Structure 1
Amino acid sequence: MNRKQSQRLSWRDNTPVSDKFDDIYFSIEDGLAESEYVFLNSSLIIEKVHQNKFDSFVIAETGFGTGLNFLLTASKWLQHSSEQSTLQYISVEKFPLSHSDLHKALEQWPEFKELSHAILEQYPLPQAGFHSIKIQQNRIELLLMFGDAAQSYSRLNAKVDAWYLDGFAPSKNPDMWSPELFREIARLSKPGTTFSTFTSAGIVKRGLKDVGFDVRKQKGFGRKREMLVGTFVENQASKTIDKPWFELPASKKPEEVTIIGGGLSGCSTARALADRGVKVRLIEQENQLATGGSGNPQGALYAKLPVKQTTQGELHLSGFLYSVNMLKLIDPEESFWSQCGVMQLATSDKELARQNNLIEQETYPQELVSHKSAEELSEIANTAVNFDGLFFPSAGWVSPRALCKHFVDHPNISVLQQQVEELSFAEGYWQLATQSGETLSASHVVICNAEMANQFNQTDHLPLKTIRGQVSITEPKPTNSQLNSVVCGDGYISPAQNQQYCFGATYDLQGKERNVTQDDHQSNLEKLSKVLPDIHADLASEPNELQGRTAFRCSTPDYMPIVGPAPVQDQFIETFAQLSKDRKWRFENAETEHHPNLYVNTGHGSKGLITCPISAELLASMICDEPLPLPKDVIDAINPARFIIKKLIKQTI
């Protein structure tokens, strides 16, 4: 998706009309009544709610449009469901409305004012990919996918209870109603999954029958003679699994989970589970949270975007957008973060060429990133800036330790100071041997203790590495201008928090020194002098006043985090040994073995502010058997089993 793919609208009597497809978004006569009849009532949603046989209910839709179906369903859900149940609503839109057009469209439905406001507050930028939105204290979760319907659903991991097959009519938009889409609908369905759609076109009827749906006609809405409804029976198509080593184990929402590690990874995972009603015991060996890589006073909140989209770039951008939305909701007063913007300076000719190429490609919306001259950036920053660069207006800085404290402030979370030395599994429970000699018992365990995550027998194959970093901390001088934006060059500096500047940081792959050093202070000052000469002049005048902090980032060989179920290494090697001879070998009926209810969330490096919260959501969704908030190829790229598979292919194991 690029900037040209946002939907362009015309308006007929307050009804939005797509210029591209020359079709209306909802009935001119009564769009709300049509939506209720065709989708909510025909899918028997309220009847299923009253059965109260589920913790969550999953509805998937083709064509988000103005969001009318979602708003109606969410409103009815809140009226009829229990407070313990959640609605998981998944929708796709190839040509998303602009924020202003969506706002105008939703003004037609004042009865949904509160829900509309919640959606508009978190409505994504027109950027391809998966976007998670949570409203009503997490009782309703909207996963909004921007992109082609068939392609987007092919990347989804979920089990759907009911389908709303909406979108423009097959005669207007035949490309959407494709055999590829019908196959994905079947893949994501289970016996008993229902569908309803306003159309009775033969291409839709035949397409759904061919993939295993029992299809029926019923009276359409208003003057429309017929519409289609049906139920999924079975899928006769082959169930050959691509990359079976990344298949996830079955799971069922637990009552409690124990987490090892109290940094950003562990605290965000604890909160994601607690918000789902799961009791969490968070174990941290130090006497306070976020003492390692998550303990710096401030961290830059932004994503360095690739010119051409990559799996890593998609994870970082999805995580960044998710973190920004989350922070706006949990801390609207900006008490421990600031959406002050981030500038990424082009400090070399190579970086300048890369940034120019990025802007020319128009891969990212202008609301996300734009090019600025040094003069423009100087005005934004309120101090002299030496280079042109990119500006991210929705980015900023966060206090990681304060964010961790917020995460664990929940009645479902208890924090225990203890050091876990060994894990063993017996009779359906994990036994956690601690340094004090006490043994703790847990049904589910998530390992989040950074570079120590591979200290256990079950995870000792994970290739974790540490990268030493030192930040410098000092008070602004009275003569110094107040910095108004985060500035990133070879290092970074944030606007002062609590009358202190935090800047740096060093990036030492070999360093083991845990003390703060003057050499690293000097290195940080040199980086600062290159980009912000006036601020550097003030801060460098008395270098002996600099304080600092040293920590070790936990990273991986591919610089992607490790998030997911813990594989049994020996079994993986035995099952997929043929990869060492033929990397394209197709494994039929291959079954993977994972350590029961054992998960890992580590290796976030210096990107924890944008990867930890979205990874926590991913992991909580896995554990609680919910639709996963990231595309399958991104999930595969951070799967803990990937290193075993890579070694088999390279014949190094």
Structure 2
Amino acid sequence: MAEPIEWLADGAPYNPRFGDRYRSEAGLAQARGVFLQGCGLPQAWAGRAHWTILETGFGLGLNFLVAWAAWRSDPQRPARLHFVSVEAYPASADDLRRSAHAFPELQPLADELAAQCWGLRPGVHRLRLDRGRVLLTLAIGEAQPMLRELVCPADSVFLDGFSPACNPGIWSLDTLKAVARCCRAGTRLATWTIARAVRDSLAQCGFTVQRVAGVPPKRDRLEASYAPAWTPRQRPQPWHDDDALPAVPGHCTVLGAGLAGASVARQLAERGWQVQVLDAGQAPAAGASGLPVGLFSPHDAANDTLPTQLSRAGARCTADLLQALLQADSDYALSGVLERRMRGARTPTAPGDAFSAAADAAQLQAAGLPADAPAQWHAVAGWVRPARLVQALLAHPAIRFRGGCRTTTVQATPQGWSLRDADGRELHSTPLLVVTAGIGSAALLELDALQNVRGQVSLGPCPPALPLPAMPVNGHGHFIPAVPGAQGPLWLSGSSFERGDTATDLRETDQRYNLERLQALLPATAQAIAQGPAPAAWAGVRCASPDRLPLAGPWAPGLWVLTALGARGLTLAPLAAELLAARLHGEPLPLPARLVAALDPRRLRTA
């Protein structure tokens, strides 16, 4: 639930919980004079590939909007601006817009921000703005624990919570220690308060602090620089990025031209790499990513587990990407997905929001389901043609595709990695290699724990008499209605799930299996299909890990991995690729530390 805000007679926003205004009467001047100027911006970021600002207290987003506007107007700006902010009590999108009314020059940016401020449950959320060049990471929760969840090497720090008298926790020594753990030598910090306790705590955390002239009506403010007299002890992490020092873009190779490979290639190309994509197929999406149409959707469980948190973050990322690259209603549809829960399944305990909520009577009726059917409505979900997404991702001037490369081994060399065929002949060499080879990844990485999973979908035309739900329905199997086709709308249903099977022949047994599951999911639709002509089919083989989580991260020096996406490639591949690229470049990560550790591929070495 959004934080209630009162609007005072002078138009200022006021927070009853803390008994304090969100900003002073000189709000815009303070944002520019205290925070930007106090951190030496925009001059300090000139010529940098990316810049990261860490903020305590997002509030109504004024500091973010001012930093974003400064970045847009600076010809020397970095290619990518990261703004990472913690906020325990997020405001509503409407209040964000209303707050910006006082600053007309910021209103267009505030409108773009507000359009993405939905589904802000406790946790870490990545919002992609300005065509993905401005990345806002919101950590929703109390400052100290959320800061410990962030992986955020900060270049600048804005301390801007409610006053120390009203909200002492956000200024506490423990919170400032958590801030310091995100800093490097020379990170500059700025704040409007000159409270003695804050100055002393900052000094104790390794900052050199100076009191300087403030922005009227305040007489003073603080500027600080992180320069500890000791060698800071690194916070223990469940992974080690010794092999992953921030990389300098050059030439690299992605092995695999499916959804995972195309997503990684695009992320690296946008960071300045020249990317060679190799695949055994003659064209991209020759393997499991050749699925005619698939679903992307978050998943809510009875307990808010790591996989459910990952799926929500992934669905948001995929939805952003589709809207940026593809044609709506032809290549994809952000239609929402109804997830039917079979009798006896546990109901999610998380409250409904703009992401997911209990299905209402109208949605159940539109799906052709009984009014008492237990179901969950996922608004940030829909269908997509994977091959078209792969093509769009690879359509970048810094990406080159080369097919017919049947790589069977990869070998470390003094210069990087050598890719060789079955006869030992070198096909390619590269200083940086990312393996995204799906079911081929196990042999290349000598990782027996990965599993092959065969899946077959059924598909057919949608005649007028066929009873169709108004949206895709998921559950024990799935059904996608009315996908545009060359000869008219199509339906798709499936898929089978056969571990250890790598064959892609089409099987009548799988067709019957899909129809049986559809009978439980949508009985009327299944009955009508059974009485019509035999449907067509498509089969592919996916790669999965023992814990059903992807592998995304470094495997060895110069060798990175993105694989084992299982049946959730459309939901997880773009987010996992963004995570991999962010780790490679020392950027803030789009996921909390616990999830980063859960996806690290090296976890399987000790499994």
TM-score interval for Structure 1 and Structure 2 normalised by the shorter chain = over 0.9
Structure 2 CA distance for partners of 1:104 and 1:414, relative to 1, 3 Å: same
Q: In the alignment, which residue of structure 1 is the partner of 2:130? A: 136
Unaligned runs of 5+ in 2: none
Mapped partners of 2:212, 2:112: distance in 1:
35
Q: In the alignment, which residue of structure 2 is the partner of 1:14? A: 11
Q: How does 1:205-220 map to 2 (within 5 A)?
A: 205-220=199-214
Q: How does 1:439-588 map to 2 (within 5 A)?
A: 439-456=427-444, 459-461=445-447, 463-497=449-483, 498=485, 499-543=489-533, 545-566=534-555
Q: How does 1:322-337 map to 2 (within 5 A)?
A: 322-331=317-326, 333-337=328-332
Residue 309 of structure 1 aligns to a residue whose secondary structure is coil
Instruction: Give CA-to-partner distance per residue, 1:20-55, whole Å, 9 cap, x none.
Output: 11211112x2311111111011211122134x3x22
Displaced runs of 4 or more, over 6 A? 383-386
Q: In the alignment, which residue of structure 1 is the partner of 2:406? A: 419
Q: In the alignment, which residue of structure 2 is the partner of 1:123? A: 117
Q: Does 1:428 align with 2:415?
A: yes
Greater shift in the superposed pair: 494-503 or 510-519: 510-519
Q: In the alignment, which residue of structure 2 is the partner of 1:274? A: 269
Greater shift in the superposed pair: 145-154 or 320-329: 320-329
Mapped partners of 1:402, 1:507: distance in 2:
24
Q: Which amino acid aligns with 1:36?
A: R
CA contact 1:253–1:625 (8 Å) conserved in 2: no
Q: Does 1:161 align with 2:175?
A: no
Mapped partners of 1:303, 1:139: distance in 2:
24
Q: CA deviation at 1:641?
A: 1.4
Q: Does 1:149 align with 2:137?
A: no
Q: CA deviation at 1:292?
A: 2.1
Mapped partners of 1:432, 1:125: distance in 2:
44
CA contact 1:157–1:627 (8 Å) conserved in 2: yes
Q: Does 1:630 align with 2:591?
A: yes
Q: CA deviation at 1:435?
A: 5.8
Residue 178 of structure 2 aligns to a residue whose secondary structure is helix
Q: CA deviation at 1:533?
A: 2.3
Mapped partners of 1:276, 1:137: distance in 2:
14
Q: Which amino acid aligns with 1:425?
A: A
Identity of aligned residues (%): 28
Which of 258, 264, 283 aligns to 1:263? It is 258
Mapped partners of 2:234, 2:28: distance in 1:
42
Q: Which amino acid aligns with 2:224?
A: G
Q: CA deviation at 1:424?
A: 2.1
Unaligned runs of 5+ in 1: 567-594, 647-653
Q: In the alignment, which residue of structure 1 is the partner of 2:557? A: 596
Q: TM-score, normalised by structure 1?
A: 0.87
Residue 265 of structure 1 aligns to a residue whose secondary structure is helix
Q: CA deviation at 1:111?
A: 0.5
Which of 286, 289, 311 aligns to 2:281? It is 286
CA contact 1:127–1:364 (8 Å) conserved in 2: no
Mapped partners of 2:538, 2:212: distance in 1:
68
Q: In the alignment, which residue of structure 2 is the partner of 1:38? A: 34
Mapped partners of 1:173, 1:455: distance in 2:
55
Instruction: Give CA-to-partner distance per residue, 1:323-380, whole Å, 9 cap, x none.
Output: 22332333363431111111111222x21xx12xx2xx4x24422222236x533433
Instruction: Give CA-to-partner distance per residue, 1:201-246, whole Å, 9 cap, x none.
Output: 1221111111100111122221223221111112648626535654
Q: CA deviation at 1:153?
A: 1.5
Q: CA deviation at 1:84?
A: 5.7
Residue 152 of structure 1 aligns to a residue whose secondary structure is helix
CA contact 2:407–2:422 (8 Å) conserved in 1: yes
Residue 294 of structure 1 aligns to a residue whose secondary structure is helix
CA contact 2:356–2:377 (8 Å) conserved in 1: yes
Mapped partners of 2:208, 2:128: distance in 1:
33
Instruction: Give CA-to-partner distance per residue, 1:125-182, whole Å, 9 cap, x none.
Output: 2212222223334332222221222112112223211101011111111121222221
Mapped partners of 1:170, 1:491: distance in 2:
53
Residue 42 of structure 1 aligns to a residue whose secondary structure is helix
Q: In the alignment, which residue of structure 2 is the partner of 1:26? A: 23
Q: How does 1:263-412 map to 2 (within 5 A)?
A: 263-331=258-326, 333-348=328-343, 350-351=344-345, 354-355=346-347, 358=348, 361=349, 363-372=350-359, 375-381=361-367, 387-412=373-398
Greater shift in the superposed pair: 155-164 or 474-483: 474-483
Structure 2 CA distance for partners of 1:489 and 1:310, relative to 1, 3 Å: closer
Q: State the Cα RMSD in Å.
A: 2.1
Q: In the alignment, which residue of structure 1 is the partner of 2:567? A: 606
Structure 2 CA distance for partners of 1:549 and 1:82, relative to 1, 3 Å: same
CA contact 1:246–1:636 (8 Å) conserved in 2: no
Q: In the alignment, which residue of structure 1 is the partner of 2:90? A: 96
Q: Which amino acid aligns with 2:397?
A: P
Q: TM-score, normalised by structure 2?
A: 0.94
Structure 2 CA distance for partners of 1:126 and 1:600, relative to 1, 3 Å: same
Instruction: Give CA-to-partner distance per residue, 1:100-137, whole Å, 9 cap, x none.
Output: 22122223222123322332232242212222223334
Mapped partners of 2:13, 2:33: distance in 1:
20
